[in-house]
C-alpha cells in the first residue's frame, strides 16, 4: 500500500509576484467599500437608538417644511425631550439659519 499523497506545492508559500497583488484601483475600491459599510453600520446603530422619528415632507418647495420642523423640535425640547434635526435639503440647509 502506498503512503499518503501530498498535494502541497512548496512554491505556494513563496511571496506573490507584483502582478498578483491588488492594483491601486482595486485597493481604492476596497477601501471605499469598507468605508461605505462602516457608514451603513453607524446609521443602523443610530436608527436603533432613536425612539421616535418624525419626518416633515412635501413635494413642493417653499411651503415651510424647515419652519415646521424647527418649531416642532423647539416645542418638544421645551417639554424636556431630546431632539435632533437632520436637514437633507438638496438646495441648502436652512435649519442652522433658523436656530
Q: Tell me: the pLDDT tens digits for 24-80?
A: 888 889 999 999 998 888 888 877 888 888 889 888 888 888 899 999 999 999 999
Backbone region of residue 88 per phi and psi (left: phi > 0; alpha: psi in -120 to 50; beta: other values): alpha
- Compute the residue count for the chain: 99
Q: Tell me: the pLDDT tens digits for 85-96?
A: 888 877 777 787
- Residue 66 to residue 69: CA distance in whole angstroms: 5
Give the three cell numbers for residue 60: 413642493
pTM, 2 dp: 0.53
Amino acid at each position: 500500500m502506498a503512503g499518503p499523497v501530498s498535494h502541497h506545492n512548496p512554491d505556494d508559500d513563496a511571496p506573490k509576484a507584483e502582478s498578483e497583488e491588488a492594483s491601486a484601483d482595486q485597493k481604492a475600491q476596497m477601501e471605499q467599500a469598507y468605508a461605505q459599510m462602516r457608514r451603513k453600520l453607524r446609521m443602523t446603530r443610530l436608527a436603533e437608538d432613536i425612539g421616535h422619528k418624525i419626518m416633515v415632507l412635501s413635494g413642493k418647495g417653499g411651503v415651510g417644511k424647515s419652519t415646521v420642523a424647527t418649531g416642532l423640535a423647539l416645542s418638544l425640547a421645551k417639554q424636556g425631550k431630546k431632539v435632533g434635526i437632520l436637514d437633507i435639503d438638496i438646495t441648502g440647509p436652512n435649519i442652522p439659519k433658523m436656530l
